[in-house]
């Protein structure tokens, strides 16, 4: 599933329907442009807290996926990227479907 998610995120980026970086994502969420937000697996605790709070206030999905910052950045043609926002309803719907289907890391149990 992760490769499908990487593919759709790359396609959204090429279509101009993706923003990235904490400040740009927060701005798009606040302006009502973002339909969903993706957090990398290794985003900092501060970034996770700020972005989740912003998304909760705006009532939009915020998914933390199993892609590292390096992997997330690579699939959208950038360097290390901890957070990205999908600014298209159709892309967002697919991203949420794929992001929800990615298995979460095991707690060690």
Q: What is the pLDDT along the chain (109 residues), one digit of tens a residue?
A: 468 889 999 999 999 999 999 999 999 999 999 999 999 999 999 999 999 999 999 999 999 998 999 999 999 999 999 999 999 999 999 999 887 765 544 434 3
Residue 13, domain CATH:
3.30.1330.30
Give the chain's domain count. Answer: 1
Indicate yes or no: pTM above 0.75.
Answer: yes
Residue 14 lies in a domain: yes
Residue 109 lies in a domain: no
**What digits encode the pLDDT tens for the residues 59-88?**
999 999 989 999 999 999 999 999 999 999
Could you list the residue range(s) of the whole structural domain that residue 27 is in? 2-101
CB 25 within 8 A of CB 37: yes
């Amino acid at each position: 599933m992760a490769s499908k998610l990487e593919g759709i995120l790359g396609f959204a980026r090429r279509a101009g329907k993706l923003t990235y970086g904490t400040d740009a994502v927060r701005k798009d969420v606040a302006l009502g442009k973002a339909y969903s937000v993706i957090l990398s697996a290794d985003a900092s605790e501060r970034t996770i807290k700020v972005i989740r709070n912003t998304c909760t206030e705006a009532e939009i999905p915020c998914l933390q996926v199993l892609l590292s910052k390096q992997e997330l950045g690579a699939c959208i043609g950038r360097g290390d990227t901890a957070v990205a926002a999908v600014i298209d309803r159709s892309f967002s719907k697919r991203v949420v479907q794929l992001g929800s289907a990615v298995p979460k890391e095991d707690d060690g149990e």
